[in-house]
Structure 1
Amino acid sequence: MSNSLERFMLTRRRVLQGAAALSAGAMMGRSAFAAPDTSLSFIGWQYQPEIVDANVKTFMKLYDENVTYELVTGDYHPIAETKLTGGQHVDMLYAEEDRIARWHAAEWIKDLEGQQGIAEIKAGMFPVSVESLSLSDGRMCGLPYYAGYNTFIYNEEHLSKAGVSVPESWDAVLDVCRKLKKDGISEAPYHAMWGQRWPELSWSMFACWYSEGAKVFDENEDFVDEPALRKVLETFQTFYREKLVVEDIMTLPGEGVPSYASGRHTFMVVHDYNHKVANDPAVSKIAGKVRNALMPGATHSTMAWTASYLMGAQPVDEERVWNLLKFFGGKASDGQYHVIKRWALEFGLGSAYKEVMTDPEIVASFSKWRDVNISAKQLELATSRKVGKAIWFPEWDLFMMQKVQEYFRSGSSTDQLVTELAAKATELKAQYQ
């Protein structure tokens, strides 16, 4: 079981060896009509690259096109930035929302305002996703790859054995974890993504900060030191000090999901699509026992985000690249959501489009592994990380993760940590002015 899950997670974020550039044109061959001689260039991260390649082939057949798809292995965003800095031509590429403003300011990508049908596309999305995909001045820069949020899941069998209900505050989570450990039900009841990568500790911390009502940054992009922020930090430091989390939580593979699926833990804050993995009997020992609840905390909010497909600043042909973006990040010319619907049905990835998330087939599929009513309520309460639009934010974010990990491990002063986080934000803002 554990080997199966490790293989599953490896496939999700695998690092393929060998040639990274796949010429879809060469694989497909020519259609009845001559595709353009100049191919569109598309680079992407290491999530299901075989399926991405198949999607490229479908696009080429449908549009009589020529595309070269390059898989970027390793830490995607820094590698992509290195490629762009070096002058590599890219027509379409992936990015998380915190890179959009940075890459636009560097003139590596262009906004999508004025493209045919853009107003209708925006009208069909959830507002939180439109905000995620737009610059601070409102110009939309990307089409959605998927839309997600961090969810609070729990093993209902553990709570039943302990005779406790789902905790609704972080104090209650701490108390229940202590009882679960004392009663021998779970040695490490609390679990989360605490690895030092952009979709792990950063997203987990912001989700929990928002759940307690912390601003983290205000409207002027100044760091906010407030009781809600400190409460979350100190609660998690207590989890680590009292060994209510596994000692190696900061270095676990697969975003900590294989460890959770082993049945060792009770609670986890994790990407919503990984709830599907935890309830998959092919890879999880606790399939069918994992339920979702609203995030604990004063506001029950969480962090929501929308990953994106972006258009390079100097597309080979703007109309052709716009077709590629719409095929992957929306409806194709035949009216179908070819890519987005497949991600939803096969992997549980949510969509920025209202039409997709109300599709009866997708609703039925999602209902098999999570309470969709709770999910809908959680999305209503979710918070978009607006500070992610600041061009300096990725550097602060990495600094924050390093310092927070040190804080958990060392048991050092909260005063010292928040002082360092505030100072780093001030320093970076000044550098980028």
Structure 2
Amino acid sequence: MGSDLFRGSELQSFLARRRAILKGGLAAAAGMALPGLIGRAQAAPAEPLQFIGWQYNPQIVAENVEIFKKLYDENVNYELVPGEYHAVAETKLIGGQHIDMMYSEEDRLLRWNKAGWTRTLDGLPGVDEIKSKMYDINVHNLSLPNGELGGLPYYTGFNSFVCNEKHLDAAKIEPPASWEEFLDQCRKLKTDKIAEYPYISAWGRQWASISWELFSMWYSEGAKVFDENFEPVFDQPFKDILQLHRTLYEEQMIPQDVFTHLGESVPNFATGAHTYMVVHEYDQKVFNTPETSQIAGACRNALMPGKTRSTFIWTAAYQMSANPIDEQRVWDLMQFFGGKAKDGNYYVAKRWALEFGLSTPHKEVMEDPEVVESFSKWKDLDVSTQQLESATTRDVAKSTWFPEWDWYMMGEVQDYIRGQTEMDELIDRLQAKVVEVKQMYPD
């Protein structure tokens, strides 16, 4: 699971090198990570732009690269990064590989900017107009603490609570409004042999898995997790959600091999064997498509249970190198992928929306009648809108240290769920880790 970077002594060596660069700031990072690039800012168009991305439909990304190359008479080298993307990308940057544009999540915006690997977009032509045509919450997601735009959007999403209506009908129940009701329903579904494992979700130790599911449920229950000063708030709602996870595992309401599932457990729910799932919103399109699901037409989105009914919302990004081989060329590439091309078309954002159900911060795309009609075929738009309006941003991600804590937290929570530690011990460890990583990466 993940990369070999996260095993034993190799992990410690990697983290030590990464911390040295991240703590060194712009000058040190630029000097170590990007050697030999002085004087190349005005590179000839024949020199390819370097673009890296993670493992989500890379064949479509490659096709979009070809469209860009033809439209702009350009040259681009696109590299698919396997494994734990952000760790591998940081290794590449530390090692000196030049990258002009890269995928990233919000928790890398400030981190990579402070390391000197990426730049903000303020001052580039058309940025203010681009921001004015995006939803405010997404501009917030993409902005650094100082207000500058850290990247252009790849997509935006939130975690959704989805239900298998076949199971609901068999049990004669409606989606739960609280996590207590949810647990009671899971017990009934199991006792009545409607579902051996009523719940499924992504519980693997990966950057888009158990952490995102936990934060969605924490926010739905009213847990802050971190306050406005990024100090931990491990209160009762925080603990209640952790206890819920342990109970689900102990009572076998979720498969016991869930920590090792591939594909963020999406293929598992598509079998129709489970009743409920907390999952990336766009995956509902997978569940309601006959070619990819055994419950097509029966997957319903409902508001998250919990005291606030909130969830976790994020905006993935494209970031620009602090030292692009040619600023205008890279800006053209970023606008093509992260917004509108020079001919006025949203080639990438609209394609992601229509083919894969990915939402975008760009109002013009989300309000396009074709996109609205497409989305309405696989999800309840009214419920989706309600969930979006109540969603919570994870602002603590705008710190250099959060990814380190987040990775550590996932492993500790997995141990707690399996009964290897107790709540007080877990909380003490998570508190201590906050102190440790803040010392390692002072913002």
**TM-score normalized by the length of structure 1:** 0.91
Write the distance in 2 (CA, Å) between the matches of 1:270 and 1:225. 24
Question: What SS is found at the alignment partner of 2:143?
Answer: coil
Q: Which runs of 5+ in 2 are unaligned?
A: 1-43
Write the distance in 2 (CA, Å) between the matches of 1:427 and 1:181. 42
Q: Which runs of 4+ in 1 moved over 6 A?
A: none
Residue 337 (structure 2) pairs with residue 328 (structure 1): yes
Residue 12 (structure 2) pairs with residue 37 (structure 1): no
Question: What SS is found at the alignment partner of 2:324?
Answer: coil
Write the distance in 2 (CA, Å) between the matches of 1:354 and 1:173. 35
Tell me what 2:38 maps to. Answer: none
Write the distance in 1 (CA, Å) between the matches of 2:415 and 2:137. 32
Tell me what 1:312 maps to. Answer: 321
Question: What SS is found at the alignment partner of 2:97?
Answer: coil
Percent of matched pairs sharing the same residue: 55
Which letter does structure 2 place at the counterpart of 1:339? Answer: V
Q: Deviations over 1:32-88 (max 9, x none)?
A: xxx822221111112222211111111111111111111112221111101101111
Tell me what 1:347 maps to. Answer: 356
Residue 411 (structure 2) pairs with residue 419 (structure 1): no
Question: What SS is found at the alignment partner of 2:300?
Answer: strand
Residue 263 (structure 2) pairs with residue 226 (structure 1): no
Q: Which runs of 5+ in 1 are unaligned?
A: 1-34
Which letter does structure 2 place at the counterpart of 1:194? Answer: W
Which letter does structure 2 place at the counterpart of 1:273? Answer: Y
Match among 97, 106, 116 for residue 125 of structure 2: 116
Residue 88 (structure 2) pairs with residue 88 (structure 1): no
Residue 289 (structure 2) pairs with residue 292 (structure 1): no
Tell me what 2:259 maps to. Answer: 250
Question: What SS is found at the alignment partner of 1:376?
Answer: helix
Assess if the C-alpha contact under 8 Å between 1:92 and 1:310 holds in 2. Answer: yes
Question: What SS is found at the alignment partner of 2:200?
Answer: strand
Residue 412 (structure 2) pairs with residue 406 (structure 1): no
Question: What SS is found at the alignment partner of 1:410?
Answer: coil
* TM-superposed deviation, 1:411: 6.1
Write the distance in 1 (CA, Å) between the matches of 2:382 and 2:64. 31
Residue 109 (structure 2) pairs with residue 100 (structure 1): yes
Tell me what 1:194 maps to. Answer: 203
Match among 398, 420, 423 for residue 389 of structure 1: 398
Tell me what 1:378 maps to. Answer: 387
Tell me what 2:72 maps to. Answer: 63
Question: What SS is found at the alignment partner of 2:225?
Answer: coil
Tell me what 2:30 maps to. Answer: none
**TM-score normalized by the length of structure 2:** 0.89
Write the distance in 2 (CA, Å) between the matches of 1:300 and 1:411. 30
Assess if the C-alpha contact under 8 Å between 1:241 and 1:411 holds in 2. Answer: no
Tell me what 1:12 maps to. Answer: none
Write the distance in 2 (CA, Å) between the matches of 1:98 and 1:410. 29
Assess if the C-alpha contact under 8 Å between 1:40 and 1:68 holds in 2. Answer: yes
Supply the RMSD in Å over aligned alpha carbons.
1.0
Q: Deviations over 1:255-308 (max 9, x none)?
A: 101111111110000001111111111121111111000110000110000111
Write the distance in 2 (CA, Å) between the matches of 1:106 and 1:129. 23
Assess if the C-alpha contact under 8 Å between 1:237 and 1:411 holds in 2. Answer: no
Write the distance in 1 (CA, Å) between the matches of 2:135 and 2:416. 36
Tell me what 1:49 maps to. Answer: 58
Q: Deviations over 1:331-371 (max 9, x none)?
A: 00010000110011001111111221111101111111100
Tell me what 2:11 maps to. Answer: none
Write the distance in 2 (CA, Å) between the matches of 1:231 and 1:205. 11
